[in-house]
Amino acid sequence: MPYYDLADAIRSRFTEPRQTLRELFSRIVFSICVSNTDDHARNHAAFWDGKILTLTRAYDICPQLRSGGEATQVMAIRRDGYRYSQLAGCVAAATETYLLSKAEAKDVIDHQVDTIRSEWDEAAEVAQLTAVERDQLWGRQILNPHALEDAA
């Protein structure tokens, strides 16, 4: 299932569709920022109250090895099949698919990137990463420069 199909389902069957689409967009951005290229529909679930669905927390998000810049997501982000792990491609899909203005999409991206930068040391400490592991992840899997190109 591509992300845009999930977005269509959110518009028609979920509580608070605009807010939920923003959350889905934010999850896509986060997955790209941390090189979770093994994204799949099972990263997202919903509670069913018998009438309508509500998105649960995301889970099973894990940075994948990324030796260079270019990478792709498993799930297509845009209706044209775009699945490159680059935030600029998310901005291009924001309005039509996720009902966000370009400015709102950029705000989501800025918030994710700023939060990852400010929380990285603490998250690495909680995960008990060694200094070598931190260095290997930062700038490769976590906030890979290729993912950030042309996103501003």
Burial of residue 136 (CB within 10 Å: 0-12, 13-18, 19+) is middle
**pLDDT for 68 beyond 80:** no
Token couple for 24: 């889905």
> Where residue 109 falls among pLDDT bands split at 50, 70, 90?
very high
Q: Parallel, antiparallel, or unpaired: how do β-strands 46-48 and 53-55 relate? A: antiparallel
SS (H, E, C) 83-141: CECCHHHHHHHHHHHHCCCHHHHHHHHHHHHHHHHHHHHHHHHHCCCCHHHHHHHECCC
> Where residue 66 falls among pLDDT bands split at 50, 70, 90?
confident
SS3 53: strand
| Cut 0.85: pTM above it | yes
Q: Which residue has the tokens 């800025």?
A: 110
Token couple for 152: 């501003």
Closest CA relative to residue 127, chosen from 43, 57, 34: 34
Mean pLDDT value across residues 95-103:
95
Domain limits, the chain: 3-148
**What is the model's pLDDT at position 152?**
62
SS3 43: helix
Mean pLDDT value across residues 54-68:
83
Tens of pLDDT, residues 77-89: 999 999 999 999 9
The Cα 90–Cα 85 span in angstroms is 9
